[in-house]
Amino acid sequence: MNKYFTLENGVLIFKRRQEIVRIEGWGENSLRVRTTENHGFLNEDWALSEKTENKAVAELTDEGAKITNGKITAEMTSEGRIRFLNHRGEVILKEYYRTMERGFDFGKDRDLFINMYQAARIYKTAGGDNYNIKLYFAADDNERIYGMGQYQQDNLNLKGSILDLKQLNTQASVPFYVSNKGYGFLMNNPAIGKVTFGTNHTEWEFASTKQLDYFITVGDDLKEIEKQYSAVSGRAPKMPEYAMGFWQCKLRYQTQEELLSIARGYYERNIPLDIIVIDFFHWTKMGEWKFDPEFWPDPEGMVKELDKMGIKLVVSVWPTVDKDSENMGYMKDKDLLIRTNRGLSFQMNCVSPSEFADMTNPETREYVFDIIKKNYLDKGVSQFWLDVAEPEYAEPDHDNYRYYKGQGLEVANAYPSDYVKMFYEGMKKAGRDDVISLVRCAWAGSQKYGALAWSGDVQSTFNTLKRQIKAGLNMGLAGIPWWNADIGGFMGGNIEDEKFRELLMRWFAFGTFSPVMRLHGDRDPHTKKPLISSDGKPCAGSGADNEVWSYGEKVEEVLRNFIDIRYKLKPYIKKATEEASENGSPIMRTLFYEFPNDKKAWEIEDNYMFGSDLLVAPVYQAGVTTREVYLPLGETWVEIATGEKYEGGKYVTAKADIDVMPLFARENAEVIDLLK
């Protein structure tokens, strides 16, 4: 039986017929598992980029073999079945076999077995060295699953969900989840696929990939699990203090003078503002990465005036290269663009046909950032907004695209990480330590490059606001602690509509207690005519005004109040961001992250902890002035609005007037004094 196993310095290798399986220690209390029907494994660690010492111990057993690394053990039978146990001997995860009688010779009768029964790992050729691979794990009716990135859906608990593993505007596939059974699981594979967390079994499927590669870690609580996962995938750097304040942007400021007039408006009204953003199509052409001098004639002078007002400048960039861009010829000749396998090479048509720079190629990253440094960073721009980061193909047929790192179907999901990596490494090389990039997508490990993910072009509705709460919480549990949503939503908000004004005030309150507070949106009505360039061509249009004072005196008063609260909280927010850098803890935290022994806390999906001490209960319904809030067991809670004290373990009715965010703090927490 043991003839199929090889033990090599804390590594367990199984080889039978076509398949090879490799299991090894990877960080504290963690294992990495790779399987393939090729003759060897890829030399690629993907998200598991932080090197760690392998302290695992592997040994042969009567059934086959096992490998232990701290609190986790993997047992493997001579038929190739795998299961994982914690340090208490409890099975936390095991592969699923629909039927598997003892004495059945999996090796001899393998093809018959696959046709008649359900194997745990199924490989079908997808051409060359690639396979369509399915992986099955047994289901547990009592399991709760969280993380996996950002999906625009109503449930926080992902048990029973079907999730596409692909990047889209408003969707970020970050394939790390945590379980109430005490483990975390990363599918360390950037291929396009799907996962089903079914009630009968869990199924991972990839259309075309060379191998399976996953990481599993065990901990006594979620904090230990996130710490161990972030130790091997990387942790967020320190967030710049100015990024913790208020950000102003809209679709879009069309000229340098318009942007400066807005900045002056904040300064003259004495409204705190740390960052103002220049959105898309401020450039000459896509893929030239420079200001259009006709409308932005003096970037250095603009930055100097902003600096005097204490405001930093963030500029939007896209990875698209216009067919007529001055850089198209060179980038095409040097193979710096994503290739199209068939048909026309143009991959997006926004204003004009364009192709995407291949950010998985180190040469592309170096070339593009050199241009960005010259035209933006050297002119005083502080940070960057990385839009269209999925990338957003006009036709998302990933089998038609080829990257430097491989075919689109097998590597596409890692593109956002390489995109943000370009800015992190480039700015570090330029001597900058305060790197934070607002980016419209993320993959596992993006956090270590200063990624500030946002939820994309979401709609301006109360239901969408409710979904953002869950999106932010699951992103944090997936290892991406820096996250935000467009305050007010991106699409569909009319500034003259009282219903939208109510939504905006509620969303603004939510934004106050998000990792980053950023006002943005394409507002109606679109009454402003697009500018006409000197050559007679119309420029990209812009929406209605979207500043704090754009919605009337009543709304302005409420928004200013929340901005003041945000700045009072800066010391507290700084501490929370430092925890993310030190141990991987989210800034927005589910109640059960802080109170894992409270069974009711595992059921709450619309309240959350902001940092360790402040409980936030956003209002996501129109026309209400109170809301029910569950206070976790084991603490005395102080309602910030009233000063009333409540013992935990029960629901209370909280004050929720339009200018009030329902907030509760642990008794004696320092944050109470900050909010007085």
274, 387, 486, 639: the active-site residue:
387
114 pLDDT above the threshold of 60: no
Residue 166 CB partners (closer than 8 Å, separation 6+):
173, 192, 193, 396, 398, 412, 413
In this model, does residue 115 exceed pLDDT 80? no
- Closest by CA position to 452, among listed 596, 275, 224: 275
Res 336: pLDDT: 98
**β-pairing, 172-179 with 193-197?**
unpaired
Strand order across the 614-616 sheet: 588-589, 608-610, 614-616, 663-666, 636-639, 645-647
Q: Which CATH fold topology does 241-318+357-582 show?
A: TIM Barrel (3.20.20)
234, 445 Cβ separation under 8 angstroms: yes
Sheet of strand 401-403, all strands in order from the earlier edge strand to the far edge: 339-340, 401-403, 406-407
Three-class secondary structure of residue 37 per DSSP: coil
Domain 2-233: CATH superfamily is glycosyl hydrolase (family 31) (2.60.40.1760)
pLDDT by residue (tens digit) across 627-664?
A: 999 999 999 999 999 999 999 999 999 999 999 999 99
Q: Quick one: CA dihedral 261, 530, 454, 519, positive or negative? A: positive
| Whole-number Å distance between alpha carbons of 314 and 306 | 11
Burial class (CB in 10 A: 0-12, 13-18, 19+), 59: exposed
Residues 267, 261: Cα–Cα separation, whole Å: 10
Q: Is the pLDDT of residue 356 over 80?
A: yes
* pLDDT at residue 99 in the model: 60
- pLDDT the model gives residue 16: 92
Domain 2-233 shares a fold with domain 590-674: yes
Summarize the confidence of residues 525-546 as an average pLDDT: 89
Residue range 403-417: average pLDDT? 98
Which residues face 160 on adjacent strands?
Answer: none
Sign of CA dihedral 101, 106, 112, 115: positive
Contact 566, 517 (CB under 8 A): yes
How many separate helices (H) and strands (E) can be counted in the chain?
Answer: 14, 42
Q: Which backbone phi and psi does 499 adopt, to 5 degrees? A: -65, -40
Q: Which two tokens stand for residue 170?
A: 């408003």
Average pLDDT estimate for 353-381: 98
Element (H, E) at 304: helix 299-308
pLDDT of residue 103: 45
For 307-345, b where at least 16 C-beta lie within 10 A, e where not — what string? eeeebbbbbbbbbbbbbebebbeebeeeebbbbbeeeee
Share of the chain above pLDDT 90, in %: 92
Q: How many angstroms separate the CA atoms of 303 and 381, rounded? A: 7
pLDDT band at 538 (very low <50, low <70, confident <90, very high): confident
Contact of 38 with 211, CB cutoff 8 Å: yes
Across all residues in the chain, what is the average pLDDT? 95
Residues in the chain: 676
* Residue pair 492/524 in contact by the 8 Å Cβ criterion: yes
Q: What is the mean pLDDT of residues 618-623?
A: 98
Q: Which of 24, 140, 390, 613 is catalytic?
A: 390
HSE on the CB side for 97, CA within 13 Å?
15
Q: What is the pLDDT of residue 108?
A: 52
Confirm whether 387 is a catalytic residue: yes
Identify the residue whose tokens are 């379980």: 179
For residue 369, the model assigns a pLDDT of 98
The average pLDDT across 392-402 equals: 95
Residue 535: pLDDT band (50, 70, 90) is: confident
Instruction: Look up the pTM and report it.
Output: 0.96
**pLDDT class for 383, splitting at 50, 70, 90?**
very high
The token duo for 342 is 């068939």
CA distance 379 to 311: 15
CA 295 – CA 531 distance, rounded (Å)? 9
Cβ-Cβ contacts under 8 Å for 130 (sequence gap 6 or more):
208, 209, 210, 407, 409, 410
> At a CB cut-off of 8 Å and minimum separation 6, what does 294 contact?
533, 534
Rounded CA-CA distance 524/544 in Å is: 5
Task: Please report the sign of the dihedral spanned by the C-alpha atoms of residue 297, residue 301, residue 306, residue 312.
Answer: positive
Give residue 109's pLDDT: 52
CB of 134 closer than 8 Å to CB of 163: no
Q: How far is CA 289 from the centre of its chain?
A: 25
Of 457, 594, 598, 639, which is the active-site residue? Answer: 457
User: Do the beta carbons of residue 273 and residue 543 sit within 8 Å?
Assistant: no
Q: What one-letter code names the amino acid at 30?
A: S
Check residue 101 and give its pLDDT.
Answer: 45
Note whether 175 and 444 are within 8 A (CB): yes
What's the CA dihedral at 32, 33, 37, 43 to 10 degrees? 0
Q: What is the C-alpha to C-alpha distance for residues 116 and 106, in angstroms, rounded to an integer? A: 12
Domain definitions of the chain by residue range: 2-233, 241-318+357-582, 590-674
Dihedral of the alpha carbons of 573, 576, 577, 580, in degrees to the nearest 10: -170
**Is the confidence at residue 298, as pLDDT, over 90?**
yes
Partners of residue 135 on adjacent β-strands: 121, 204
Structural fold of domain 590-674: Immunoglobulin-like (2.60.40)
What pLDDT does residue 527 have? 87
Enumerate residues 6+ apart whose C-beta is below 8 A from 121.
19, 35, 80, 95, 133, 134, 135, 136, 212
